[in-house]
Homo-oligomer: A and B are copies of this chain.
Amino acid sequence: MSSIDDIVPAAIENTAGAPERRRRAGGGRGGDRGKGRKAPVTLRYRSILNTTDPSMIVTEEGLEAIHDASLTVLEETGIDFMLSEARERLKAAGADVAPGSERVRFDRDLVMDLVRTAPGPFTLHARNPERSIEFGGRNIAFAQIASAPYCSDRDNGRRTGTQEDFRNLIKLAQSFDIIHMTGGYPVEPTDLHASTRHLDCLADIVRLTDKPFHAYSLGRERNLDALEIVRIGRGISAEQLESEPSLFTIINASSPLRYDAPMLHGIIEMSARNQVVVVTPFTLAGAMAPVTVAGALVQQNAEALAGIAFTQLVRPGAPVVYGGFTSNVDMKSGAPAFGTPEYMKAVMAGGQLARRYGIPYRTSNTCAANTLDAQSAYESMMSLWGLVQGGGNFIMHAAGWMEGGLTASFEKFILDVDMLQMVAEFLTPLDTSPDALAMDAIREVGPGGHYFGTAHTLSRYETAFYSPILSDWRNFESWSQAGQPTTFDHANRVWKETLASYEPPTLDPAIDEELDDFVARRKGEGGVPTDF
């Protein structure tokens, strides 16, 4: 990991290189409150470098203890691979596959030899090249919430999702540069039939956003359909697709210590074609994992290493991400808890593990709140603190996540966008050039004056600071006269303004037509089985 003295020049290049990058997304927006929101006019947040050095939450010795214990788990207890094809491949590679069972045990050298072929940083390609994303190193990229069964907004309340909700949330993701990709279906559109839902949803995603996207691993036919749709969307050949990772899939372990058949099919289809596999155990300490954070991390690491090893067995060098999702439960109710101190520790330790293996690190912006109150903000901000200081590279559920993932909230989406932009601004290098040190202005003003009217101030005041989307900085009297609006009120207004000003990205009509044809053909064939 390079030091701040190396990274700051790179980060300055990153945020200030092109002239348009100097324009501020938030600049002046606060002043437009209630007059309709301007469309984003900036590339400022299209790529973000983490200028802070990762924080260490466990000692080197502690890290090695977790690493060693997880290899012992894979060696002695083993892990279930619930697909014979996967077990056969593993057995051929030298793993110990118990006859008549799904259990696979790995010699620790076998695991590490496979993990070692995983690449470091790589690029995830979008159909718009300007939206392609770097994974790993100092990069941080944010994906919208995925897979919520419910959605909610203040006007219409909490409800199961429909295609309209799905589309609106995708449109919101397209509207902010700080959201670098969608992460799946932000809400499950339950009015679409399960056998063809993926066709409708992925075609919608290609049309409504030009950012990279995700394919669910819920049966290999869905993976294959998604691979074809991303190829059509980019207008490239299968060969080019294979040389340019353009689609990612989240592979969750069925913790503890199992990978089910759809997930293993997902690895087999995606890794074989050099697409991105994000291996993510979901290890809730006290439920599906030991009640101690360290114990949960041992299990997380065992599951992650086994999944990563399998991707590399399928195709050495296939792009893969180390995912961590260790949190705790509320031991009084068993309910999952998120954005907790224990979550922060687990996120940071997960980063130390991922960096130990030289693999990009996936984590999440979580909260367990039921409404857009202070809890929703502090749990998410603690998640962001943990993942930024923990060196997270790829952040799932970065905007919109409520109720531990059960609900995609339109207002929470805007709150998260604002918080993510503030994090990005925080990570912008602090300019200490002679001009920024302001010695002339200090000489000019001297003791007892003020800086409102100096040339130094006047030439900078419009762009000097981040203008938040939601923060209400009026004094108490003005704020009271305006009806004492809360963050919830402002977020409700902003998502509606954003949707009203949404413009779809351009799409080649030939691609649009090819997409139509493909979806129609596959629907004609009946879609995919739904009995997985």
Which of the segments A114-122, A190-198, A438-446 contacts the partner chain?
A438-446
Q: Give Cα A464–Cα B286 distance, bound, in whole angstroms.
A: 9
Whether A447 and B257, one on each chain, are in contact in the complex, defined by CB atoms closer than 8 angstroms, is: yes
Whether B447 and A403, one on each chain, are in contact in the complex, defined by CB atoms closer than 8 angstroms, is: no
Please give the distance in Å from A418's CB to the nearest CB on chain B: 8
Given the known interface contacts A256-B449, A257-B447, the answer about A335 and B465 at a Cβ–Cβ threshold of 8 Å is no
Whether B385 and A292, one on each chain, are in contact in the complex, defined by CB atoms closer than 8 angstroms, is: no
Whether A337 and B471, one on each chain, are in contact in the complex, defined by CB atoms closer than 8 angstroms, is: yes
Whether B415 and A254, one on each chain, are in contact in the complex, defined by CB atoms closer than 8 angstroms, is: no
Contacts of A51 in B (CB 8 A): 57
Given the known interface contacts A389-B52, A438-B292, A466-B340, the answer about A375 and B446 at a Cβ–Cβ threshold of 8 Å is no
Contacts of A470 in B (CB 8 A): 374-375
Q: Give Cα A419–Cα B292 distance, bound, in whole angstroms.
A: 22
Q: Which of A448-500 contact B (CB under 8 A)?
A: 448-452, 454, 456-457, 460-462, 464-468, 470-476, 479-480, 484, 486-488, 491
Q: Give Cα A69–Cα B435 distance, bound, in whole angstroms.
A: 12
Q: Give Cα A264–Cα B182 distance, bound, in whole angstroms.
A: 58
Is A364 located at the chain interface by the 8 A CB criterion? Answer: no
Which of the segments A72-80, A167-175, A237-245, A517-525 contacts the partner chain?
A72-80
Q: Give Cα A479–Cα B294 distance, bound, in whole angstroms.
A: 31
For A104, the closest partner residue in chain B by CB is B447
Please give the distance in Å from A8's CB to the nearest CB on chain B: 6
Please give the distance in Å from A480's CB to the nearest CB on chain B: 8
Q: 11 additional contacts, CB 8 Å, given A52-B55, A373-B486, A374-B415?
A: A55-B55, A62-B432, A256-B451, A290-B454, A291-B461, A296-B438, A368-B473, A375-B486, A377-B381, A381-B381, A389-B389
7 contacts between A and B (CB under 8 A): A77-B446, A78-B447, A295-B437, A369-B471, A374-B415, A378-B378, A378-B419
